[in-house]
Chains A and B, each alone.
Chain A
Amino acid sequence: MPTRKKLLYITDQDEYTDHSFITPLFETYLKKHLTVDIVYFTEFKSDFERKDAHRFTMPTRYKDILLDELNRNDVPVDTYDYVMVRNDITIMKHVLDEKDTYHYKTAFRLSMPKRRVQIRCYMAEGETAFLDKMTDKFKTYNETKIINACDVFLPTSPSMHKEFFPNVTTKTIICSPGIDPKMLHPNIQHRSEEKRFIYSGTLDKVREFRTVLDAFSKLDPDTWKLIISTRDPQYAAELVGQYNGLEDNFEIHDAQTKDELLDLIAKADIGVALLPDFPIYSTSTPVKIFDYYTSAIPCIMTNAKHTNTVFTDRHDAWFCEFDQDAIQEKLEYIISLSKDTITEVGIKGQQRLLDIKNYEKIAEDIAMKLEAL
């Protein structure tokens, strides 16, 4: 029997982050093909910690000597066939530097090019100086060089690759978020007359949620409710507090775990994933869309390449341009639909994701391509 290959996944995330991507993809489905060990980080604890046989927590101060620290704590690095790093280019460089010592294949997983996104946002707002642009070019050149030195690059979507790292030419495997077939929740219809919408995720200036709220505020208040689950409920309360007379239409939550969030989603009829046309939102499908469809809740989403290549308008989702009038019009249309029709759209959307963005299938594909390296 051939030896089972081993993958070390070093994520830049904190040990306590809700690992809704890692848990299904790496800890559940990829483990059918490979032995997967995962390193998380802690900003607060002083020592390396073994959470269980396959999950470790490393203090951030050891980032630069991470592999030495693993060895020192009886995690023999030379037993891994693949070492994959998520997002952190400094750790990736460290892993590449040690490649000849430990003889593993290297992979860089890009879930979100945070630095590049930030500079693009600043540029869009005209807040960048010439020096910032030059620094960005220099850093991008270096990052590209490091990624090209890896055996494989795993961006979230082809458009993310093209938009942010067009000069990366190493072998590429698309590693998109998906839907976990073991986590599906049935669609629950509600008795009340109004349509219940839900928005889950970050709210900030960049996301321009006020445009969405303005559109909602023009609707007949008896026909809708909006549930918001966000990490900053105070900001959400300040935002919705500006709409006098609509206090009863909003419900604000701060779901702490994925389970809590899915419970909230189950109470809604339609998910909201309306985001402005920034590269970060237009190059990958937001995780919230997968959360909504996990409970077969259909979704109104921005019409972008990453959405219209997956879903079909009015069949398994509703597309909309990101402006107040278009949003208002689409919301009015959705509110006019029967609950049965809405449910049907949700079920179709869930099935569509199961067909093409299914963690089990994504894991199989990654395992096969890693094996072929």
Chain B
Amino acid sequence: MKPKHYDVLIVGGGISGTALFYELAKYTNARSLCLLEKYESLSPLNSKGTSNSQTIHIGDIETNYTLEKAKVTKRTAKMVERFCLQYGLEDKIMFSHQKMALGVGEKEVRFIENRYHEFKELFPYLELWDVEKLKALEPKVVYADKAQTKVRSEPIIAMGTATQYTTVDFGAMSEALADEAQKASDATTDIFYQSQVDKIEELKDKTFRVVTTKGDEYTANFVVVDAGAHSLFLAHQMGYGTHMGCLPMAGSFYMTDAHFLNGKVYMVQNNKLPFAALHGDPDILAEGKTRFGPTALMLPKLERFKPGTYLDFLKTLNFDTKIIKIFWDLLKDSDIRNYVFKNFLFEVPLINKKLFVQDARKIVPSLSVDEITYAQGFGGVRPQVLDKEKEKLMLGEASINPGNGLIFNMTPSPGATSCLGNAERDLHVIVDFLDLTFDEAQFTKDLIEE
């Protein structure tokens, strides 16, 4: 039987894949779209609510962002907000919490003050909160004791807001994107579950054949792979992105048993690390609880809480002397070395909680071991990309576009926030490549215009 043919086939039903599926269905004249998802539902892995803090990373309290980067992330973050508002998803899957970046100690306090003044123009709603204000807004970050009688000894200050949408259940948003895509267009918009892609082949007529592990076959004029760490796995299989390796970093969380923080509290980021600094978040999936984390542990597999993928990891790591050199350079730095070692210990039973609490006390000085529990089943994998040409760890997202009708995306944080922005980038490539039309006016009206 001849395989079913599509204009565009997307591999991966996470937030990135469904965002592209939605934009293509709603704003282009593509006649047929296909989304292949490995598991039985959308967003079963990294976009899922339990895998990360579900934060909209707009760039206001993300202290490692430059102003330039914040301008970009603000635009893409606002697209997420506008999508949710457009479909009345506020307070259903999108929530507003108080949030802040907390500076602890003189150096960080000065940094937060200066950063606040620099970023205030881009984010006019930001406020600077001193100790007195924090006593009212987030008392647990201020006091050294549980009775809240003694203020912590280090100077602190925070920049934050209580007026913005801060949190999205990206798993639920993936479903909304897929639903709306199917409603928005008369075109074929097929979603196939339990369809793990085994291989992608370029055919003589410049189209692509996608084969699943079950033996199902599809063909497409354009293929986009939004499959987390597996994007690089599939790229390597086709001979693309061989200058890259993938280092899967797993993040775990700890949960308080009761209400603890009133809002999101982020710490000042160490610029040497590609991962978000430890933070505390009110959990949108576990009502009334606060989640602390994530930790960062190198995991020799591409998917967390799923069997297998050890071999895929080895293939995707693309191990050679250059990878050794990158590791060596990273571990030469005492900050990174200590961070790696400490995060390894955060996963060791018996000592993990005690050690984690020591770190989390930078946010809540009075936090004690008996107040937190290891959040079983929470956490995901952030595929960090190693650039073998530049011999260094790349920070953030990576995209491989050979220009022949294929795109492979790896979108660790802030990939979920950037989903509609990244999809817009890919949409332009696809529209040009397939000579489609794009309803830019409607797109702008729906997702961009204030």
Contact of B271 among A16, A42, A231 (CB under 8 A): A42
Residue among B63, B65, B66 with the highest chain A CB neighbour number at 10 A: B66
Chain A residues 17-53 with CB under 8 Å of chain B are 42-50
Question: In the complex the two chains form, is B63's CB within 8 Å of A44's CB?
Answer: yes
- Which residues in A have their C-beta under 8 angstroms from that of B333? 61
Q: Complex Cα distance A46/B395, Å?
A: 8
- Which residues in A have their C-beta under 8 angstroms from that of B68? 47, 49-50
Chain A residues bordering chain B, tally (CB within 8 A)? 17
Q: Complex Cα distance A44/B68, Å?
A: 15
User: How distant is B404 from chain A, measured CB to nearest CB, in Å?
Assistant: 26
Q: Complex Cα distance A159/B196, Å?
A: 73
Chain A, residue nearest B112 (CB): A44
Q: Complex Cα distance A61/B393, Å?
A: 12
Instruction: Tell me whether B69 is interfacial, beta carbon within 8 Å.
Output: yes
Question: In the complex the two chains form, is A16's CB within 8 Å of B111's CB?
Answer: yes
User: How distant is B240 from chain A, measured CB to nearest CB, in Å?
Assistant: 22
Instruction: Tell me whether B299 is interfacial, beta carbon within 8 Å.
Output: no
Question: In the complex the two chains form, is B65's CB within 8 Å of A45's CB?
Answer: yes
- Which residues in A have their C-beta under 8 angstroms from that of B65? 45-47
Instruction: Tell me whether B4 is interfacial, beta carbon within 8 Å.
Output: no
| A60-B114 CB under 8 A given contacts A45-B66, A47-B69 | no
Question: In the complex the two chains form, is A43's CB within 8 Å of B271's CB?
Answer: yes
Question: In the complex the two chains form, is A16's CB within 8 Å of B67's CB?
Answer: no
Q: Complex Cα distance A57/B114, Å?
A: 14
Chain B, residue nearest A51 (CB): B67
Chain A residues 55-78 with CB under 8 Å of chain B are 57, 59-61
User: How distant is B338 from chain A, measured CB to nearest CB, in Å?
Assistant: 15
Question: In the complex the two chains form, is A49's CB within 8 Å of B271's CB?
Answer: no
Residues 226-256 of chain A: 1 if any B CB is under 8 Å from the residue's CB, otherwise 0?
0000011000000000000000000000001
Q: Complex Cα distance A50/B114, Å?
A: 17
| A44-B110 CB under 8 A given contacts A60-B271, A61-B271, A61-B272 | no
Instruction: Tell me whether B268 is interfacial, beta carbon within 8 Å.
Output: yes
Instruction: Tell me whether B32 is interfacial, beta carbon within 8 Å.
Output: no
Question: In the complex the two chains form, is B110's CB within 8 Å of A45's CB?
Answer: no
Q: Complex Cα distance A60/B272, Å?
A: 8
Contact of A45 among B106, B113, B271, B274 (CB under 8 A): B271
Chain B residues bordering chain A, tally (CB within 8 A)? 22
Chain A, residue nearest B333 (CB): A61
Q: Complex Cα distance A232/B106, Å?
A: 9
- Which residues in B have their C-beta under 8 angstroms from that of A256? 113
User: How distant is B122 from chain A, measured CB to nearest CB, in Å?
Assistant: 13
Chain A, residue nearest B392 (CB): A65
- Which residues in B have their C-beta under 8 angstroms from that of A43? 107, 111, 271
Residue among A16, A42, A46, A50 with the highest chain B CB neighbour number at 10 A: A46
- Which residues in B have their C-beta under 8 angstroms from that of A60? 271
Chain B residues 269-289 with CB under 8 Å of chain A are 269-272, 274
Contact of A59 among B110, B114, B271 (CB under 8 A): B271
- Which residues in B have their C-beta under 8 angstroms from that of A59? 271
Instruction: Tell me whether B185 is interfacial, beta carbon within 8 Å.
Output: no
Instruction: Tell me whether B64 is interfacial, beta carbon within 8 Å.
Output: yes
Q: Complex Cα distance A43/B64, Å?
A: 9
Chain B, residue nearest A47 (CB): B66
User: How distant is A49 from chain B, measured CB to nearest CB, in Å?
Assistant: 4
Q: Complex Cα distance A35/B274, Å?
A: 35
Chain B, residue nearest A68 (CB): B390
Residues 254-268 of chain A: 1 if any B CB is under 8 Å from the residue's CB, otherwise 0?
001000000000000
- Which residues in A have their C-beta under 8 angstroms from that of B64? 44-46
- Which residues in B have their C-beta under 8 angstroms from that of A57? 66
Q: Complex Cα distance A49/B65, Å?
A: 10
Residues 249-281 of chain B: 1 if any A CB is under 8 Å from the residue's CB, otherwise 0?
000000000000000000011111010000000
- Which residues in A have their C-beta under 8 angstroms from that of B111? 16, 43-44
Question: In the complex the two chains form, is A16's CB within 8 Å of B269's CB?
Answer: no
Residues 55-90 of chain B: 1 if any A CB is under 8 Å from the residue's CB, otherwise 0?
000000001111111000000000000000000000
Contact of A44 among B67, B69, B113, B271 (CB under 8 A): B271
Chain A, residue nearest B273 (CB): A46
Residues 97-109 of chain B: 1 if any A CB is under 8 Å from the residue's CB, otherwise 0?
0000000001100
- Which residues in A have their C-beta under 8 angstroms from that of B395? 46-47
Q: Complex Cα distance A213/B107, Å?
A: 28
Question: In the complex the two chains form, is A49's CB within 8 Å of B67's CB?
Answer: yes
Q: Complex Cα distance A47/B63, Å?
A: 11
Q: Complex Cα distance A59/B66, Å?
A: 10
Chain A, residue nearest B329 (CB): A64
Question: In the complex the two chains form, is A44's CB within 8 Å of B269's CB?
Answer: yes
Q: Complex Cα distance A59/B271, Å?
A: 7
User: How distant is A94 from chain B, measured CB to nearest CB, in Å?
Assistant: 15
> Can you pick out 30 interface pairs between chain A and chain B where the beta carbons lie within 8 Å of each other?
A16-B114, A16-B115, A43-B107, A43-B271, A44-B64, A44-B115, A44-B268, A44-B269, A44-B270, A45-B63, A45-B65, A45-B66, A45-B271, A46-B64, A46-B65, A46-B66, A46-B271, A46-B395, A47-B65, A47-B66, A47-B395, A48-B66, A49-B66, A49-B68, A57-B66, A59-B271, A61-B271, A61-B333, A231-B106, A256-B113
Residues of B within 8 A of A (CB): 63-69, 106-107, 110-111, 113-115, 268-272, 274, 333, 395
Give the 10 A-B CB pairs with smallest separation, nearest first.
A16-B114, A49-B66, A46-B64, A59-B271, A61-B272, A46-B271, A45-B66, A47-B66, A44-B63, A46-B395
